[in-house]
């Protein structure tokens, strides 16, 4: 958890207290592989993950668009062609009982 304190108009982040030895080991390994400090390795890893993770509002918008698309697909699947046959009926007319083209 990051605790912050407002000092003279500047936001100052306090140190993190991570109590998982595996996380510490992973951070040290990443820093060693990149030839940098643990702080820099964690900063870059977090920045990369934040870049990959969409904002919650973007997820809501994406979900809303998906729901609209599914609703449209439901409507279109029930539409009939000019000769009043459904898509399934038209597809079934293309093949015989053995699945061969007519």
The predicted pLDDT at position 13 comes to 66
More confidently predicted of 4 and 83? 83
Q: Indicate the angle between helix axes 38-52 and 21-34, nearest 10 degrees.
A: 100
The predicted pLDDT at position 74 comes to 85
The predicted pLDDT at position 4 comes to 46
Please name the helix (run of DSSP H) or strand (run of DSSP E) that holds residue 7, with its range, or none. strand 4-7
Kindly state the tokens that stand for 36: 């940098």
Residues in the chain, total: 102
80: CB partners within 8 A, 6+ apart: 86
pLDDT digits (tens, 9 = 90+) for 7-52: 445 566 677 788 999 999 999 999 999 999 999 999 999 999 999 9
- Give me the residue label for tokens 């890893």: 45
Q: What is the CA 18 to chain-centroid distance, rounded? A: 26
Does pLDDT of 3 surpass 50? Answer: no
Kindly state the tokens that stand for 94: 């293309």
> In this prediction, what percent of the chain has a pLDDT beyond 90?
41
């Amino acid at each position: 958890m990051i605790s912050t304190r407002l000092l003279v108009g500047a936001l100052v982040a306090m140190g993190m207290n991570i109590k998982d030895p595996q996380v510490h080991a992973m951070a040290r390994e990443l820093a060693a592989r990149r030839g940098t400090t643990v702080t820099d390795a964690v900063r870059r890893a977090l920045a990369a993950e934040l870049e990959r993770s969409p904002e919650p509002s973007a997820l809501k918008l994406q979900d809303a668009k998906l729901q609209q698309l599914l609703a449209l697909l439901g409507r279109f699947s029930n539409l009939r062609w000019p000769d009043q046959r459904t898509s399934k009926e038209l597809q079934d007319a293309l093949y015989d009982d053995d699945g061969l083209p007519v």
